[in-house]
Amino acid sequence: MIQAYKEYWKNITVMDARATRSQYWWPQVANYLVLFLYSWLTNLSRYYDFSTESVKELNIRVLIFLVLSFLIWLANFTVRARRLHDTNKSNWWILLYIIPILGPIIMFVLLILPSKPFSRWTINQSELS
Question: Residue 82's beta-bridge partner residues?
Answer: none
Q: How far apart are CA 126 and CA 26, in angstroms?
A: 14
Please report the pLDDT score of residue 59 as a whole number: 77
CB of 91 closer than 8 Å to CB of 81: yes
Claim: this prediction has a pTM higher than 0.75? yes
Mean pLDDT score across all residues of the chain:
86
Q: Using 50, 70 and 90 to split pLDDT, how confident is the model at 38? A: confident
List beta partners, residue 124: 18
Burial of 115 (0-12, 13-18, 19+ CB in 10 A): middle
pLDDT band at 120 (very low <50, low <70, confident <90, very high): confident
